Amino acid sequence: MGTEIAPIGAVGFSAAPERAPRRSRAAAPEDSVTLTHGEIPDSPPPEVLDAMSTAGRVARELHDSGRELRFTPPAPGEDGSVTIELRDLDGNVLRTIPPSELLDVATGGPLS
């Protein structure tokens, strides 16, 4: 799955890279879920909608200030975490952000 996200207001999008084929595995009993029609809500819960709204607001504020966040997963075969970079809209890295700080920003905290 590609991790490149076009900046807000971008004119076009590049095609996502092809995914590597997944190896099949036998489903474990705890992986199986049986749902009936009434168990799937018509919309996400209010707290999810609120979180999405906050994330959208933060993304707009970043873009309005000429910045964006870029997420890069570790290289295949490497252990590690996602790298999060604050960039200007030309793609220049302004700083790298630790995941713990990003969680604060995503919930509406300031980007220091």
Q: What is the pLDDT of residue 95?
A: 93
Averaged over successive runs of 10 residues, the pLDDT of the chain (112 residues) comes to: 54 53 60 66 87 88 91 85 90 90 73 65
Positive or negative: CA dihedral 24, 25, 26, 30: negative
The amino acid at residue 80 is G
Domain ranges of the chain: 67-107
